[in-house]
Amino acid sequence: MAILRARDVPQLSDVELQEQMDKLRMELVQHYGKVSAGGATENPGHIGELRRTIARLITEQNRRRTV
């Protein structure tokens, strides 16, 4: 899954925002599952990128709610 940059997030519609968040959360759960099972991810930095992207999406959702 491609990581969304901060400049790309405001351009998404509300539905696209939620869909992207669901996909990224599922990918994050898969990575955490692999790590907890004793395996190693191919790119450990990808977990941090996923978490930051999810935070960007949540921030945008909250911003839209208050406006």
Exposed, middle or buried by CB within 10 Å (0-12, 13-18, 19+), for 22? exposed
Q: What is the pLDDT of residues 27-53, one digit of tens each?
A: 999 999 988 888 887 888 999 999 999
pTM for this prediction: 0.88
Which of 65, 57, 66 shows the shortest CA–CA distance to 21?
Answer: 57
Angle, helices 14-36 vs 45-66, to 10°: value is: 150
Count: domains in the chain: 1
Q: Which pLDDT band, with edges at 50, 70 and 90, does 67 fall under?
A: confident
- For residue 3, tell me if it sits in a domain: no
Instruction: Indicate if the pLDDT at residue 57 is higher than 80.
Output: yes
User: Whole domain around residue 24: which residue ranges?
Assistant: 14-66
CATH number (domain holding residue 52): 1.10.287.310
pLDDT band at 1 (very low <50, low <70, confident <90, very high): low
